[in-house]
Amino acid sequence: VNTILLNTINGFTNQNNQIYENQTYLQINGHNNKNFELIVFGSIVQDLVSYVDRTPKPGESVRGNLFKNFCGGKGANQAVMASKLGTRTAMMGCVGDDIFAETNISSISQNGVDTSMIEKLKESNTGVACITVTSDGENSIIVNLGANKCLGAKNARNYRSVICNAKMILCQQEIDEDGNYEALRLARENGVTTFYNPAPGNADMNPELLRFCDVICANENEAEFLANRQMLSDEDAQECARIILEKGPKIVIITLGPRGALVAQRYEISEEPHWCWIKAPKVSAVDTTGAGDCFCGSLAHFLLESGFNTNQKDIYSKVNQAVQKAVEIAAISVQRHGAQASYPDCAELYEKGI
Ligand code: ADP
């Protein structure tokens, strides 16, 4: 009851109402007429997490202190976070034919995200990540993408009208690159805001993608990779953001872990970028897995809530305020174990004054 009350006071959509609304859409309209604010086109991964004193060296075996099994994947994490904040969200993704498939779909769905466009593939495995988290909260990850590799251009084309009716699309890199290309291209051509999180940064990325993106959010490694430049100082970070802006996006955000985030915005080619450094609150991190996803899902929500539209002028402060909130929410998530499992809900944010 408290949660419902707090959500209402805070002006967020209540989770239960949202699930009800989505189900109603399903019954009345079928896929093509569903009207979502946010489409997350991305990965679904089961996270198998070992908490250790230190990461093993090659050939070494270390004892874990704790083991946990979480629902994750960059796409699913981001969709869950945006939905928890009240954004009408649908997930497009692929799972395999195994025990992790249903666990993940039901976790995503319980968080209010529409899962009717998630494909279940026979003779494939759901994505699995083997993660170690050391006592300072840092993680190392091996991800086996499995079915996620099959989320491709055909999925984007099959749900073309759903994508084109949304307000924003959010993509990452744990799927087939052609899928991202087609999803972002379709969205851009139809006036849907395109938000790309090039994570995890890797050499497969098609640099052509950047010209379809309105918003890019990258961590330090990913930004170095996109800009093809090392980042050793604040000046380097600005230079990387400037190089990425020149490739097409209007907003570039570089997340800097415990240091917060750098925001660069430029809406006209001729203008100088507008800069803003946003500090993260000082917290004691126990697990940073999924912090960047928490950030991206929250940012998508707050950009949509602010009525953000890249054709507007004078939206600098709206964007900076949305990033400020995303930084604060991601800082909450690192104080708890897991990715989705660590994300706060509206009631907690209301109590904390966010
Ligand atoms: P990723 O998880 O993608 O590597 P970052 O490490 O840059 O991304 O973290 C994303 C966001 O999570 C940061 O901008 C910050 O808001 C929050 N965050 C991450 N680590 C910490 C930390 N140790 N203390 C406070 N906030 C953190």
Per the CB < 8 A criterion, the answer to whether 275 and 262 are in contact is yes
Q: Give the count of alpha carbons within 13 A of 59, CB side only.
A: 0
Q: Where are the beta strands (DSSP E) in 73-192?
A: 89-95, 118-120, 127-133, 139-144, 168-171
Does 260 sit in the ligand 1 pocket, CB within 6 Å?
Answer: yes
Crossing angle of helices 2-9 and 15-29, in 10° steps, is 80
CA–CA distance, 186 with 168 (Å, rounded to integer):
12
Average pLDDT over residues 191-207: 86
CA–CA distance, 164 with 82 (Å, rounded to integer):
19
Does 197 sit in the ligand 1 pocket, CB within 6 Å?
Answer: no
Dig out the tokens for 98 from the structure. Answer: 């195994």
pLDDT bracket for residue 307 (50, 70, 90): confident
CA–CA distance, 142 with 120 (Å, rounded to integer):
23
Closest-CA residue, ligand 1 atom 26, reads 331
Predicted pLDDT of residue 16: 36
Asked whether residue 189 carries a pLDDT value surpassing 60, the answer given is yes
Q: Which residues pair with 170 in a beta bridge?
A: 40, 195
200 prior amide bond cis, ω within 30: yes
> Ligand 1 centre from 329 Cα, in Å?
10
How does pLDDT run across 102-153, given as a tens digit for each residue? Answer: 999 999 999 999 999 999 999 999 999 999 999 888 888 899 999 999 999 9
Active site residue 236: no
Question: For residue 235, what are the contacts with CB-CB under 8 A and spacing of at least 6?
Answer: none
Mutation to probe ligand 1, out of 255, 256, 282 (largest number of atoms < 8 A from CB):
255
Q: Which residues pair with 218 in a beta bridge?
A: 254
Per the CB < 8 A criterion, the answer to whether 162 and 90 are in contact is yes
256 CA closest ligand 1 atom index: 7
Average pLDDT over residues 260-281: 94
How does pLDDT run across 11-49, given as a tens digit for each residue? Answer: 333 333 333 333 333 333 344 456 899 999 999 999 999
CA–CA distance, 305 with 186 (Å, rounded to integer):
23
| % residues pLDDT > 70 (the chain) | 88
Predicted TM-score (pTM) of the model is 0.89
Dig out the tokens for 5 from the structure. Answer: 């009350």
CA–CA distance, 237 with 242 (Å, rounded to integer):
9
CA nearest to 278, candidates 240, 330, 231: 330
Does 253 sit in the ligand 1 pocket, CB within 6 Å?
Answer: no
Predicted pLDDT of residue 49: 93
Does 295 sit in the ligand 1 pocket, CB within 6 Å?
Answer: yes
Largest pairwise CA distance in the chain = 57
Closest-CA residue, ligand 1 atom 13, reads 257
Does 79 sit in the ligand 1 pocket, CB within 6 Å?
Answer: no
Asked whether residue 65 carries a pLDDT value surpassing 70, the answer given is yes
State which amino acid sits at residue 151. Answer: L
* Cβ-based neighbour number of residue 45 at 10 Å: 32
CA nearest to 111, candidates 74, 63, 70, 79: 79
Question: Length of the chain, please?
Answer: 354
* Cβ-based neighbour number of residue 240 at 10 Å: 26
Strand, helix or coil for residue 296: helix
Complete DSSP assignment for 161-184: HHHHHSSEEEE-SSS-HHHHHHHH
Predicted pLDDT of residue 90: 98
Round the average pLDDT of the chain to a whole number and report it: 89
CA–CA distance, 353 with 10 (Å, rounded to integer):
10
Tell me, what DSSP letter sits at residue 275? E
Closest-CA residue, ligand 1 atom 24, reads 258
Distance between start and end Cα atoms, the chain: 20
Per DSSP bridges, beta strands 168-171 and 215-219 are unpaired
How does pLDDT run across 243-252, given as a tens digit for each residue? Answer: 999 999 999 9
